[in-house]
Chains A and B, each alone.
Chain A
Amino acid sequence: GENVEQHPSTLSVQEGDSAVIKCTYSDSASNYFPWYKQELGKRPQLIIDIRSNVGEKKDQRIAVTLNKTAKHFSLHITETQPEDSAVYFCAASGYALNFGKGTSLLVTP
């Protein structure tokens, strides 16, 4: 089955800096790669996703890149704000989503 590795497990940045979270996957048949943000005690919410026919996607301060050959994809958050603090999960899907273990991002003012 699909195996998704996510790094780092924790990340602390100062407000205004950029944050990068990286994931690798094992199943070359996976074709959908979403990123979810989970605030404490709440459900995960989709923030951006990318399909395998696209190499990069951007939505305001958030961008995702995908390298199918290397089987890795990354989340980039620019100009971070304290409200970006949360746990972020990557996932890969050919059918059911397989999630990484999450990255706890802390943005300090």
Chain B
Amino acid sequence: SQTIHQWPATLVQPVGSPLSLECTVEGTSNPNLYWYRQAAGRGLQLLFYSVGIGQISSEVPQNLSASRPQDRQFILSSKKLLLSDSGFYLCAWSLPVGEQFFGPGTRLTVL
């Protein structure tokens, strides 16, 4: 069966520090991968999605970036965090069309 992992589960970082969140998927090949951000009490904002290694589509311009160095690995990064980057970051995977399966999420607090 397929599983999706995210780490870390929680993270507290100072403003201006770098960020690296990692997501890995097991049990499937060539999945579509997604990064979402959910601010407190708000909806899900699609940040990036990828249909293959090295292919990244950005939905919202900001100080975040994403990379997919391996088929089942998706990384969300920032060189300098802002206060507004605080939120719940969710990675998800899907087959080309259909249900998206979410990871457990990373709760990021920028102080």
Contacts and interface: CB of A to CB of B under 8 A. Distances in A.
A104 to B, nearest CB: 8
Contact of B46 (A44, A99, A102): A99
Interface string A22-55: 0000000001101000000001111001000000
Contacts of A31: 97
Interface residues of B, number: 21
B59 interface: yes
A89 interface: yes
Interface residues of A, number: 19
A93 interface: yes
B14 to A, nearest CB: 24
B97 A96 contact: no
Instruction: Summarize A's interface: helix, strand, loop or mixed.
Output: strand
B103 interface: yes
Contact of B43 (A34, A89, A96): A89
Interface string B78-111: 0000000000001000100111111111000000
A43 B102 contact: yes
B74 interface: no
Contact of B97 (A43, A93, A100): A93
Interface of B: 32, 34, 36, 42-44, 46, 49, 57, 59, 90, 94, 97-105
Interface of A: 1, 6, 31-32, 34, 43-46, 49, 89, 93, 96-102
Ranked 9 nearest A-B pairs via Cβ: A101-B43, A43-B102, A99-B44, A102-B43, A96-B49, A46-B99, A44-B102, A43-B105, A99-B43
